[in-house]
Structures are given as structure tokens and as C-alpha cells.
């Protein structure tokens, strides 16, 4: 995990960042050891077991190190938002659901503002849409892509059938998450997926579909 402060790293220090660390960026909003706690986390690259682990740790760190934080009580000031930068070609559906679940835990105390930039493909779309309503942003030139789940299964015929059944279950679950966090209905998403093609959208179209709230 990489934490950036206002005192930016030298080029030599940046070169020392490993590939998997660079894929998961933790950024502090203001600098130095005396500054406020980091409030920005990023997924830049594929979502896999390693990058998901970095996100879990990062979200929990931003949540005071607590796995199960207490909800904000009446009269208590809500902590500053967590900012989640997303630029990804997608990845593993299990890890996507894990990150969304952790985001929902964090949202008990802090709003999670999502920002999609560059490319937000596949598993990245539910992550973007799962931010706090009204605080889901995309940049002007972002490209959004949605498609159905896929799997490469091996083994016996029974194994492959089991894998296929699991894939369909995960796809239904992903459709439900998107529908709950957008203006798209379950039927509309299934119809889109039934084309068996990658469906690309602009920032404006993402707003129209309710996957994001504002272009910045």
C-alpha cells in the first residue's frame, strides 16, 4: 500500500513502488505526519485477490482500523468522506463483491464518494455505482463498459456444470447490485447481457443510467 502526502515523492522513490502497490493507491488529502488521516483510496489496475486485499486493508485503515464500526449516533458529527478512485479493466467477481461489502460497512460511519476515470470496465462498474448516492462522480472522458460474467472451467462434466451454475448465480447477484444502485431495472440489465457483447458507454450515458451522479 502506498500513502501519498503533500510532500510528494521523488522520482527515485516512485520507481521503488512495486507493481502491485502501484495498482492500489492510498492517498492522503493533506500532508505530513501531523496532517489529517488519509481519506482517499484507489483501484488502478485489475481487481484480483491481491488488489482486493489492499483495498480491504485500506478501507479498514480509513475506518479507524475497525472491522465493525459503530454507526454515527444522533448528534454525532459524521466523519469526512472516503474518496475512492476507480480506473480498472475489471477483474474477479468474488473480489468485487467483497470490496462492495466492505464499502457498505464503511458507509455506516462515512460516506464513500466514488470517482471513475480512464476506464471503468466490468467489475469496476458495480464498485462505482455502490458509492454513496449523490457522491458518485465520473470524469469527462471516462469510458464505462458492462458485460456478463464469464468463466474458464476445467475438470469433469459435473465440475463444469457446477462452475456454470455458480457463474449464473454470481451474474444474477451482480445484476441485482447494479439495479439497486442505478436507474436500470433487472430486466434491462439482463437484456443488455443477453447480447453477449461488451457494451460501452460515455460519461453522459453513465449519468443517464444512474451509475454515477455528476461529471467533473
3-39 residue pLDDT tens = 222 333 444 443 443 343 333 333 333 333 344 444 8
36-81 per-position pLDDT tens digit: 444 889 999 999 999 999 999 999 888 777 677 677 777 778 788 9
Taken in order 130, 172, 209, 115, the sign of the CA dihedral is: positive
Rounded to whole angstroms, what are the CA distances from 118 to 44, 139, 159? Answer: 10, 8, 37
Return the domain boundaries, the chain.
Answer: 2-72+79-215
What is the structure's pLDDT at 33?
A: 38
Write down the catalytic residue from 147, 163, 190, 202.
147
Q: Is-contact 116 139, C-beta < 8 A?
A: yes
In the annotation, is 122 catalytic?
A: yes
What is the structure's pLDDT at 69?
A: 67
Query: Is the pLDDT score of 168 beyond 90?
Result: no
Fold exhibited by the domain 2-72+79-215: 2-enoyl-CoA Hydratase; Chain A, domain 1 (3.90.226)
Look at the pTM and tell me if it is higher than 0.85: no
Which band of pLDDT confidence, cut at 50, 70 and 90, is reported for residue 153?
A: low
In the annotation, is 147 catalytic?
A: yes
By the 10 Å C-beta count (0-12 exposed, 13-18 middle, 19+ buried), 145 is classed as: middle
What is the structure's pLDDT at 148?
A: 83
Query: Is the pLDDT score of 2 beyond 50?
Result: no
86-114 per-position pLDDT tens digit: 999 999 999 999 999 999 999 988 999 99
Nearest Cα residue to 42 out of 147, 140, 135, 128: 128
Write down the catalytic residue from 87, 122, 130, 182.
122
Identify the bridge partners of residue 199 per DSSP, sorted by sequence position: 146
Average pLDDT value for the chain: 81
Amino acid at each position: 500500500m502506498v500513502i501519498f502526502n503533500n510532500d510528494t515523492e521523488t522520482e527515485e522513490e516512485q520507481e521503488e513502488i512495486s507493481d502491485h502497490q502501484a495498482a492500489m493507491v492510498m492517498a492522503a488529502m493533506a500532508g505530513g505526519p501531523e496532517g489529517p488521516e488519509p481519506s482517499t483510496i484507489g483501484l488502478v489496475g485489475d481487481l484480483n485477490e491481491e488488489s482486493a486485499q489492499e483495498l480491504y486493508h485500506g478501507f479498514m485503515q480509513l475506518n479507524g482500523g475497525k472491522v465493525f464500526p459503530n454507526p454515527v449516533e444522533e448528534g454525532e458529527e459524521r466523519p469526512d468522506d472516503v474518496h475512492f478512485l476507480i480506473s480498472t479493466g475489471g477483474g474477479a467477481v468474488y473480489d468485487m463483491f467483497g470490496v462492495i461489502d466492505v464499502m457498505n460497512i464503511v458507509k455506516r460511519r462515512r460516506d464513500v464518494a466514488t470517482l471513475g476515470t480512464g476506464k471503468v470496465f466490468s467489475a469496476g462498474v458495480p464498485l462505482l455505482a455502490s458509492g454513496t448516492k449523490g457522491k458518485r462522480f465520473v470524469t469527462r472522458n471516462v469510458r464505462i463498459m458492462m458485460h456478463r460474467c464469464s468463466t474458464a472451467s476445467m475438470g469433469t462434466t459435473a465440475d463444469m456444470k457446477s462452475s456454470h451454475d455458480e457463474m449464473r448465480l454470481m451474474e444474477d447477484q451482480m445484476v441485482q447490485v447494479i439495479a439497486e444502485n442505478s436507474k436500470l431495472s433487472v430486466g434491462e440489465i439482463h437484456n443488455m447481457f443477453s447480447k453477449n457483447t461488451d457494451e460501452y458507454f460515455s460519461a453522459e450515458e453513465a449519468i443517464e443510467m444512474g451509475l454515477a451522479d455528476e461529471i467533473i
